[in-house]
A = this chain, B = another copy of it.
Amino acid sequence: MNSFGRIFRISIYGESHGNQVGVMIDGCPAGLAISEDDFTEDILRRKSGAKGTTPRIEDDKPILVSGIFNGFTTGAPILISFHNKNTKSDDYKDLFSFPRPGHADFTAKMKYGGFNDYRGGGHFSGRLTLGLVAAGVIAKKLIKPVSVNAKIVEAGGESDIEKAIDNAIKNEDSIGGVVECKAENVSVGLGEPFFDSAESLLSHIVFSIPAIKGIEFGSGFHAAKMYGSKHNDQLIDVSGKTFTNFAGGINGGITNGNPLVFRVAVKPTSSISKAQQTINLNTGQKEELKIKGRHDVCIALRVPVIIEAVTAIILADLMLLEQKLPGIISDNSTR
């Protein structure tokens, strides 16, 4: 299903080289102030332009199509659109028969019987994450004073990220990275045991972002090497605060009042300038593939703001479900 969320529910649509990309948000409470300017910062953070990111530049101006009236959310579905302008579909003409290694070209063609829009990856493009970022902007406003911050902490195996990128550019290659996300001021009680654990919901939406290969909460994979006596976080007081935070802020699927902490692994960008080998799907012959197009050296650089967005979306959903959004509701005196 192309939707996620139980109360605050998002759906994304569009194609890389189609007319638009965008997001529909269902279940946002009425009365939240939203203007186009609210989107500027996060869209800029997601946008290409920095060293190592693609030279395709779109203005990425959000069009607030529905669900907002006189500067406030109305309670009706919110549709936010972004028009695609800077598309060069000729670059992708051959991809229908020559799937790019690491991309979804092969699986998409098989799944949709060749009817998928393959231009620039079509609906599979990272450009669809623009809708996630837009929904994240609204979610972040909604969940205040909860704050969500993500940053890249490693690229290509290095903590000196600029150096790693320079190396990759020199090699006509691409690199991956690790992004860490922390949410603060999260109240106790979000999430449920088992299927709707906070980790289940967060990992579900995080793996909706292209290029993610792993996620770990708190101690993560390191937990597998630890003793229980060390790993168990001990309470400081009755508020639930603990001395350590190996749990990553979650026990039994439920937030415990400590910061929510997780890390994700981002694979190296699949599109590289170097020649690669593929199979011609019509003939079965091996073929050399030189990917033209325009691509990021390290897609991980653009991931933090997307991780923040999806985290805020999940928190908004859980806080609405648990009736922990006093701000909006008190603004809304007749509700």
Contact = CB atoms under 8 A, between A and B. Distances in A.
Contacts of A168: 227
Interface in A221-245: 221-229, 231-238, 240
Interface string A273-285: 0101111010010
A76 B106 CA distance: 16
B227 A174 contact: yes
A231 B102 contact: yes
B213 A205 contact: no
A73 B235 CA distance: 28
A260 interface: no
Copies assembled: 4
Given A221-B265, A268-B226, A3 B195 contact: yes
Interface in A175-217: 175-178, 188-189, 192-197, 199-201, 203-208, 210, 212-217
A147 to B, nearest CB: 21
A254 to B, nearest CB: 4
A123 interface: yes
B24 A11 contact: yes
> Size band of the A side of the interface?
35 or more
B20 A115 contact: no
A235 B106 contact: yes
Interface string A1-23: 11110110101111100111110
B65 A13 contact: yes
Given A66-B15, A200-B208, A281-B238, A224 B75 contact: no
Nearest to A9: B1
Interface stretch (A26-34, A44-52, A54-62, A136-144): A26-34
A-B pairs, 9 with minimum CB distance? A104-B252, A214-B216, A174-B228, A157-B225, A76-B123, A113-B332, A101-B232, A228-B268, A102-B232
